[in-house]
Amino acid sequence: MHARAAEVVGRDSELALIEESLLGSRQGRGRALFLVGEGGIGKSRLVAEATGAALGATMRVLRGRSGTIGPMVPLRPLTEALMPLSRGGDPLDETVLGPYRAVLGRLIPDWRGDTQPDQSSLVVLGEAVLRLLVAVGGKSGSVLILEDLHDADTETLAVVEYLIDNLEQLPVMLLATVRAEPGDALGLANAAARRGAGTLLRLPPLSRPDVTRLIASCLDAGPERIPADVLELVWRDSAGNPFLAEELLQGIIGDGSLVRDGGDWRLTGDLRRTVPSALVQGVIHRTDRLGTEGRMLMSAAAVLGRRFPLSVLQQMTGTDDRSLLSHLHAGVAAQLVVPDEPAPDWYAFRHPLTAEALLTQLTPTGRAGLCERAADAVEALHPGLEGDWCPLVASLRSDAGDALRAGRLFAEAGRRALADGAVGSAVALLDRAERLLATGPDTLARAEALEALLPALAETGDVERALSLADSLRELVGGGLGASRLAALHTRLAQVAHVAGRWADGNDQIARARALLGPEPDEVYAAQIDVVAAHLTLDTPGPNRTQRAGRLVSRAIDAAERHDLPLVACQAWELLGVLARERDLSEASACLQQVLETADRHGLPLQRMYALTRLGGIHWLAAGDTGTLAEAREEAQRLGAVPVVYAIDGIRVLNSVLLGGFAEARELSEECLTMATRLRLTPVARYVLMARATLAAHQGDREAMDGTVAEFRRMGGTGSQEEPLLLGLAGVFCALLEEDRPRAVRELAAVRTLTAENPTTFHLDGRHGVGLLLDVLGGTADRERFREVAGASAAQMRWNRHFVLLADAVLLGREGKPEAATEAARVAEETAAPHPTALHLGHRLVAETAHAAKWGEPEAWLRRAEHHFQQASVPTVAGACRALLRQIGAPVRQHRAGSNRIPTALRTQGVTVREYEVFQLLAERLSNKAIATRLYISPRTVEKHIASLITKTDQPNRSALCELSASQ
């Protein structure tokens, strides 16, 4: 006889699907499979079969399950699955994980090193887990098994969702078990199945024949050798649930009603008895056999959850070592508990329903008493309530009816979860704390819970819920809460409003906070208010907002220094650096240097990294120096700050474009955009799309640029800070490379309108560079306007400064100062040396004016620009340069290069390079004169080329030729 069936019964199709999924994963077709069903339906048995099959195929199996010891523990099943990787076995080449190794320190403490666990977004953590699964699986692949996902925390579910959506084309299989009960886990499985990202395998109850087979397997006998009454009872009371069927069968055998008689089984008693629940009856029967003390011990263990430590159980029951072990061994023999292998001295109920069945037998008073004793025992053994003990004791105190102590503990557990980055669990814990404390006398404890709950809700995006808690603040006013604590709560609400972009609500909360602190406020609270108020001031429409924000930040800095508030100081100095960048880059650098020093002194590595990143951006803008950015990127990799790594990579993409490294920019942008989209780093993705549009524009490829712009807008780019850059670096330059200067001027006008309505912190949008040059060339900017623009901090950035110097040269030439103009042009050329597109486009723009005013080297400039744009396959600008050379009387060398750009069909028809240039413009149905203007040739020449094209392409007329051009 077996306690459990010796074979898997009634699950042939499910086993076949599992085997198929394992095979597909080994071949690089990753798959997520959810085993869904009620408790005891056979999910764990199928998992065991899958584990054996995977190990037999040399796949790496990582297995974890959600705990039920008190409230949900953030990321518990993932931690349990991955922890074995740090215990030995085949070594893992951790270098393949790159910056994700530090992210995984959140799950595997041994990989954390001396740094704090990385608190990147859960999407980043999901990518880290995915990469680890690929790495550990090697050629054979890996299987991640997550059991009891219905008990998982919100962070685990978020990571699982990410894994589901990114398994395709990877040698990884995700196998999860989910209880068939309404909940987030089941919703996740259903959603994955609907969108085809996962397979949901619902396990139905066994049929009557299958239950019979199961019983026969347990009893090692054919169905004909088993009493029909037993088969009927087990089938009826189990309702096809294999676990309940086995439990019922063991109960019948255990009470002596069914005994073996040779090769047969026979009944010795009456099976007709009332069983309200087969499981509960079986549990009661087996606990009764343990005796009074054993039953009490099992009941005490049940209040601790599915898993329980022997130390706590012994402390709360006062049982001596010998008796404790004796009763546990009896519990194991009775199939009630099993040793919990991953943790020494821990045991677990064999099935979650066992603990639930035990709890149903307790009276409310008896259960409350056990919970109180359990909480006292844990606090005695673990005074600091580190880790999971705090939420467990909070839950026990709540079940014991001690709402005040429970609320305080839930609040503490929530604050710890928030500090660890487990925002979802923090919200659940803090929300429970707030509810428990809402009707109690301890207003301070409730205020502390609210103070942590508000930002946690904002982090999860539940801003409306956070703002709705303003009513709770009004309740606290009458509860004797101190003014400073109430002010802190209003400041938290102001932060939430700032996150939501609701500056009016935020300012209202700031006003309430200040009113509570009175005319002589506590400087510690006032500093926190000032920093938040500064952010809101920058968002609030009105004059002098930059100056007002600066005064608030300066005041916060003074208070932070007097009262040793390093975090406030770092935040304030960083914001002051942002404000200073508008005035002076060296001043901004000094502010950020202050952040670095403060962060180093107080051990704030994240603040240091952010400051270094901002400082690197300033060095790049000011001088084109990317050294500090590279240092910041290494720091971000070391800390596992993956989003910062990709943000810096976005700058690297744009830098490569401006340097003319188009192939490098394209390759880097592909990887960066893929990862930013995959990790849902929307601002980074928008920045990279802006850089890709600039890449297309600087090659004169309007079609590619327009396609990228459309993608940018789909990404929510309209109204974003990146939009002016998109117009200035892409739209303006594309128009200039098409020799369409009026369109470039219109694009710049759009930039000015955008930045007036929505100020941007990016400064390469053209207003302080190429826009100034075009204004000077067009006669709309005089020397006074030049001084106004050139005096701005943005005009000193290297990319902008080149165009500013050329604008100065044009003005000097008009003022009759050719030598000064030539010198300004020379410095401009040195400044633009790393930026070939800007260098040669600038020369093309000023050459005609320089020739007329007799300064600079216009002929040499035009020859170099013509050669550059001819090689870069930008024929319109190259043609303009040749036309200008003819205009000033310089000889022009004809180019026949570029025939490779002509489609094969047209090339075989004898279409020349110049004819193809005309042919392309016909798609716009331009007149001969307009085409001539674009290509700097005469209308008569255009007419000849069109006649030749009609003949070579065998078209009946010009209209048909235009249609043919538009279709290419």
Q: What is the pLDDT of residue 118?
A: 56
Tokens matching residue 151: 């008990």
Cα–Cα distance for residue pair 513/532, rounded to 1 Å:
11
Q: What is the pLDDT of residue 891?
A: 79
- 380 neighbors 403 (Cβ within 8 angstroms): no
- Report pLDDT digits (tens) over 522-555: 888 899 899 889 878 877 765 567 778 888 998 9
Residue 806's φ and ψ, nearest 5 degrees, are: -65, -40
- 776 neighbors 786 (Cβ within 8 angstroms): yes
Report the pLDDT averaged over residues 751-756.
Answer: 87
pLDDT band at 897 (very low <50, low <70, confident <90, very high): low
Q: What is the pLDDT of residue 274?
A: 38
- 660 neighbors 837 (Cβ within 8 angstroms): yes
Statement: residue 357 has pLDDT above 80: no
Statement: residue 33 has pLDDT above 90: yes
Statement: residue 67 has pLDDT above 90: no
pLDDT band at 281 (very low <50, low <70, confident <90, very high): low
Statement: residue 898 has pLDDT above 90: no
- 727 neighbors 762 (Cβ within 8 angstroms): no
Q: 501 vs 950, which has greater pLDDT?
A: 950
Residue type, 216: A
Statement: residue 631 has pLDDT above 90: yes
Mean of the per-residue pLDDT values of the chain: 85
Residue 187's φ and ψ, nearest 5 degrees, are: -60, -40
- Cα 18 to Cα 56, 489, 909: the distances in Å are 14, 52, 60
Q: 54-63, 95-104, 472-481, 717-726: lowest mean pLDDT where? A: 472-481
Statement: residue 955 has pLDDT above 80: yes
- 620 neighbors 651 (Cβ within 8 angstroms): yes
The DSSP secondary structure of 146-215, one letter per residue, reads EE-GGG--HHHHHHHHHHHHT-TTSSEEEEEEEESSSSHHHHHHHHHHHTTSSEEEE-PPPPHHHHHHHH
Q: What is the pLDDT of residue 460?
A: 58
Residue tagged 């764990």 (tokens): 44
Statement: residue 70 has pLDDT above 60: no
pLDDT band at 273 (very low <50, low <70, confident <90, very high): very low
Closest CA to 244 of 289, 205, 188, 194: 205
Q: Phi/psi zone of residue 345: left (φ > 0), alpha (ψ -120 to 50 degrees), beta?
A: left
- 621 neighbors 798 (Cβ within 8 angstroms): yes
Looking from the CA of 211 toward its CB, the CA atoms found within 13 Å total 27
Report the pLDDT averaged over residues 15-42.
Answer: 90
Angle between helical axes of 875-887 and 836-853 (0-180°, round to 10): 20
CA 817, 822, 825, 827 dihedral sign is: negative
Residue length of the chain: 968
- The rounded percent of the chain whose pLDDT value lies above 70 is 89
- Report pLDDT digits (tens) over 860-870: 999 999 989 98
pLDDT band at 51 (very low <50, low <70, confident <90, very high): very high
Q: Where are the alpha helices (DSSP H) in 481-604?
A: 483-499, 503-517, 523-539, 545-563, 566-580, 585-602
Q: Phi/psi zone of residue 501: left (φ > 0), alpha (ψ -120 to 50 degrees), beta?
A: left
Indicate the pairing of strand 60-65 with strand 142-147: parallel
The DSSP secondary structure of 862-909, one letter per residue, reads HHHHHHHHHHTT-HHHHHHHHHHHHHTT-------TTGGGS-HHHHHT
Q: What is the pLDDT of residue 1?
A: 57
Q: What is the pLDDT of residue 267?
A: 85
Report the pLDDT averaged over residues 602-610.
Answer: 80
- Report pLDDT digits (tens) over 878-887: 989 999 999 9
pLDDT band at 124 (very low <50, low <70, confident <90, very high): confident
pLDDT band at 703 (very low <50, low <70, confident <90, very high): very high
Q: 286 vs 275, which has greater pLDDT?
A: 286
CA 755, 758, 761, 765 dihedral sign is: negative
Report the pLDDT averaged over residues 130-144.
Answer: 91
- 213 neighbors 9 (Cβ within 8 angstroms): yes
Distant-in-sequence, close-in-space partners of 172: CB < 8 Å, separation ≥ 6: 25, 30, 130, 133, 134, 137, 141, 142, 143, 144, 163
Statement: residue 380 has pLDDT above 80: yes
Beta bridge partners of 202: 36
Cα–Cα distance for residue pair 789/534, rounded to 1 Å:
27
CA of residue 600 relative to chain centroid, distance: 27
Tokens matching residue 202: 């619902």
The DSSP secondary structure of 92-147, one letter per residue, reads --GGGGTTHHHHHTTT-GGGTTTSPPP---HHHHHHHHHHHHHHHHTTT-EEEEEE
CATH architecture of 12-202: 3-Layer(aba) Sandwich (3.40)
Report the pLDDT averaged over residues 387-403.
Answer: 90
Q: What is the pLDDT of residue 39?
A: 74
Q: 3-17, 169-183, 271-285: lowest mean pLDDT where? A: 271-285
- Report pLDDT digits (tens) over 778-835: 999 999 999 999 999 899 999 999 999 999 999 999 999 999 999 999 999 999 999 9
Statement: residue 185 has pLDDT above 70: yes
Residue tagged 């978020």 (tokens): 158
Residue 175's φ and ψ, nearest 5 degrees, are: -120, 120
- Report pLDDT digits (tens) over 557-569: 999 989 999 888 9
Distant-in-sequence, close-in-space partners of 947: CB < 8 Å, separation ≥ 6: none
- 928 neighbors 946 (Cβ within 8 angstroms): yes
Q: What is the pLDDT of residue 139?
A: 87
Report the pLDDT averaged over residues 259-276.
Answer: 69
Residue 158's φ and ψ, nearest 5 degrees, are: -65, -40
Tokens matching residue 866: 């013509």
CA 458, 460, 461, 465 dihedral sign is: negative
Q: What is the pLDDT of residue 751?
A: 92
Residue type, 615: L
CA 395, 397, 403, 406 dihedral sign is: negative
Q: What is the pLDDT of residue 276?
A: 35
- 446 neighbors 478 (Cβ within 8 angstroms): no
pLDDT band at 423 (very low <50, low <70, confident <90, very high): low
CATH architecture of 899-967: Orthogonal Bundle (1.10)
pTM summary value: 0.67
CATH architecture of 276-362: Orthogonal Bundle (1.10)
Report the pLDDT averaged over residues 336-345.
Answer: 76
How many other C-beta atoms are found inside a 10 Å radius of the C-beta of residue 360? 14
Beta bridge partners of 349: 337
- Report pLDDT digits (tens) over 188-241: 999 999 988 899 999 998 999 999 998 888 888 888 888 888 888 888 767 788
Report the pLDDT averaged over residues 51-59.
Answer: 92
Cα–Cα distance for residue pair 964/520, rounded to 1 Å:
78
Indicate the pairing of strand 142-147 with strand 172-179: parallel
Q: 2 vs 949, which has greater pLDDT?
A: 949
Q: What is the pLDDT of residue 221?
A: 86
Q: 201-205, 327-331, 482-486: lowest mean pLDDT where? A: 482-486
Q: What is the pLDDT of residue 103?
A: 85
Q: Where are the alpha helices (DSSP H) in 27-107?
A: 43-56, 76-82, 100-104
Statement: residue 352 has pLDDT above 60: no
The DSSP secondary structure of 906-965, one letter per residue, reads HHHTT--HHHHHHHHHHTTT--HHHHHHHHTS-HHHHHHHHHHHHHHHT-SSHHHHHHHH
Q: 176-180, 388-392, 518-522, 604-608: lowest mean pLDDT where? A: 604-608
Tokens matching residue 762: 């990016």
- If you ran DSSP here, which 8-state letter would residue 71 be given? S
Report the pLDDT averaged over residues 244-255.
Answer: 79
